[in-house]
Each structure stands twice: as structure tokens, then as C-alpha cells.
Amino acid sequence: MHSAAGTPRRRGSDYAVLSRTVSEAGLLRKRPGHYTMRIIITLSLLFAAWTVFVLVGPSWWQMLTAAALAVLFTQTAFIGHDAGHQQISEDRRINTLIGWVHGNLLVGLGFGWWVDKHDRHHAHPNHEGRDPDIAGAALAFSREQALRRRRGPARWLARSQAWLFFPMLLLEAFHLHVASVRKLMGNTLPVRVRVVEGVLMALHLVGYLTIVLVTLTPLQALCFVLVHQGLFGLYMGCSFAPNHKGMPVLEEGTKTGFLRRQVLTSRNIRGGPLTDLLLGGLNYQIEHHLFPSMPRPNLRRVQPLVRDACERYGLTYHETGLLNSYAEVLRHLHRVGGPLRPELEY
């Protein structure tokens, strides 16, 4: 389950040299003080937002509270993401506990499902047949995937996916909730884990719906949930979308070394501390994929070492601005769907 959570031990000589340099620089050491403060601040803001929600009462101004909570839910999920990669503590049990609290209990997303899916993605990013993030998705990420959608809604989605991409992200949170429940209903997780995660997710759902329905009128409650979950999904999707979408997709059976595979399929987002905060450190996607267990605050510090290694080994280190990254994603999605629009383009 945790194959990609720690730093790989044997990934070929090029990666071994880089990994040794990074380790000697102390950049793989945990940062418990940083995460303690981040967790305290995030939980305090989350508590404050729900307190404001209760105090304001039945008002349409609560749509602003919904937007604020969408931001805080995403920031909370980022902490769960870090816990899943063992970035926070040397003790796996502590990371799991933090993941359960921030994932299952506070935002209603299954930590076990996320770790299983995300680790497989990390091992083989953008690799057809191996990366679950590009398999069986609503979007087509290669022309071959698009051409397999011969009729019906799937074909229509693929041919129009560049236009539909951002609207579809409004449904992402609902999709993540459903996927989390489906994982618990399967038998791929240990029974004890399924029970714990199921109880925590049930507590989240009951608590969430209770506070919303007791505080707001039925119509306001419905609108609040739609706005909150829609913006939560949009923020999450906009944070993860630049990472790999629009980057090279490896065909099934392609063999490539770890360093090359991770660098060539990942995209970094240029920016400063505010970008780091808003994107949860995912803007250092290349560094994160090379050293998934590295604490988030160290990713900026390791960047020069990774840049130098890429230059030394002749690997393209792709970095761009946030808005341009979305443009690259949309151009790629539009190009992939091209064969399904012959009457328009051919």
C-alpha cells in the first residue's frame, strides 16, 4: 500500500547520486515543529469558521462561509496528503492517525483509499495501464484513450473536455466522497481499517449535515452544500491538475528509469511562499515525486539540487506559471479530443 510513501532505495545510479546528496544535506529529516504549527493553525481556523457559521445563523451570507470552508477543507486535505506520504513523523502510526483525522473525520475523504490510489500513481505517473489517475477517468489523456470512446456521453465528454474541464471540477469533491465509500465497501483494506475509517466518515457526515440543517433553512442548506462542496472540489482539482495533465503520457509497456520517469511526466509551478501555501507544496511536483517522504517545507530547499541534476543528466525540468499551466492543460485536452471532432478540424 505504501510503496511510494517513502524514498525509493534502488532507482539506478543517477537517482542514487542525487538521493545521497539530498540525504547528506539533511533535507529528508522530518519537521515536527513545522507540522505542529501548521496543524494547530489549520484546525483553529476550521473551528473558527464553523463557529462563525453557527453565530451567523440562517442567512444567505453563509455562501461566503461556504467558500471559506472550501479553502480550509482543502488545506486540511493537504495535511492528510502529507501524512499519507509519511512526511510528518517517523512513526507510521502517527502519520496514519493524522491522516484519519484530517481525511476521514474532518473532510470526509477516505485516507486508506487515497493512499492506495496515490501511491500507485506515484510509482508510475502518466503511465497508461499503471497510473490510476489516467485510467477509467471521465477525461481522455491520450488520443488512444479518446478514440476508444466511440459513442454516447463518453465520446461527447472527450471531444468537449477542454471546455468542460473546470465545470467538471465542481463535481470533484462529490466524486472523491463516493470513491471513498466504495473503497470501504470493498475488501482491499483490512477489516479493522475499514471499521475505523467508516466510523470516522460516518461521524463527519452526521456532524456536517446536522450543523448545516439545524442552522440553515432547507433551501439555504442545499445551496450551502452545493457551494461548499463545489468550491472544495474546484480548489482541490485546480491544485492537482497542473501536476501531470498535459505532460507526456507513457504508453503501456514503456520502460524507463525512476529519475527520468518522474521528471519528464511532472510539471512545477513557479511562485513564492503564497503559491506554496495555496497549492500545498504541490507546486514542487518534480521534487515531490523524486522524494515523496520529504517534508513539505524542504521542497523549496531541494529544488536547486534537483535542477542541477536534471541539467547534468540532460532531463527537461519543466516549470511554468500557474495560469500558463492551466493553458497547457487545456491545450492538451483539446488536442487529445481532436480526432473526435473531424467535422470541425479535419
The total number of residues shown for the chain amounts to 346
SS3 279: coil
Amino acid, res. 201: M
The pLDDT assigned to 136 comes to 67
- Domain presence at residue 123: yes
CB 332, CB 277: distance < 8 Å: no
The pLDDT assigned to 124 comes to 93
Q: Please, which residues bridge with residue 127 across strands?
A: 250
**Nearest partner of 289 among 318, 321, 265, judged by Cα:** 265
CB 127, CB 254: distance < 8 Å: yes
- Domain presence at residue 71: yes
- Domain presence at residue 346: no
CB 77, CB 102: distance < 8 Å: yes
Find all residues with CB under 8 Å of 293, minimum gap 6, and list them.
Answer: 5, 6, 7, 28, 85, 86, 87
- Domain presence at residue 114: yes
- Domain presence at residue 5: no
* CA 291 to each of CA 134, 243, 307: distance values in angstroms, whole numbers, following the listed order: 22, 15, 14
What residue spans of the chain are helical by DSSP H? 13-24, 32-56, 62-84, 92-99, 111-123, 143-147, 152-159, 161-169, 172-185, 191-215, 218-244, 258-264, 273-278, 285-290, 299-313, 322-336, 342-345
Q: Residues 59-108: pLDDT tens digits?
A: 999 999 999 999 999 999 999 999 999 999 999 999 999 999 999 999 99
Give the single-character DSSP code of 340: G
Q: Is the full-model pTM beyond 0.85?
A: yes
Full residue range of the structural domain in which residue 211 is found: 13-340
* CA 345 to each of CA 91, 159, 338: distance values in angstroms, whole numbers, following the listed order: 55, 11, 7
Burial 229-262 (b: 16+ CB within 10 A, else e): bbbbbbbbbbbbbbbbbbbbbbeeeeeeebbbbb
- Domain presence at residue 8: no
- Phi and psi angles of residue 98, each rounded to the nearest 5 degrees, phi first: -65, -40
- All cell numbers assigned to 82: 502529507
Give pLDDT < 50 ranges for the chain.
1-11, 346
Number of structural domains found in the chain? 1
- Domain presence at residue 331: yes
**Nearest partner of 288 among 110, 86, 99, 104, judged by Cα:** 86
3-state SS record for 227-276: HHHHHHHHHHHHHHHHHHCCCCCECCCCCCCHHHHHHHCCCEECCCHHHH
The pLDDT assigned to 148 comes to 86
**How many Å from the N-terminal Cα to the C-terminal Cα in the chain?**
45
CB 129, CB 252: distance < 8 Å: yes
- Domain presence at residue 190: yes
> Residue holding cell 467558500?
67
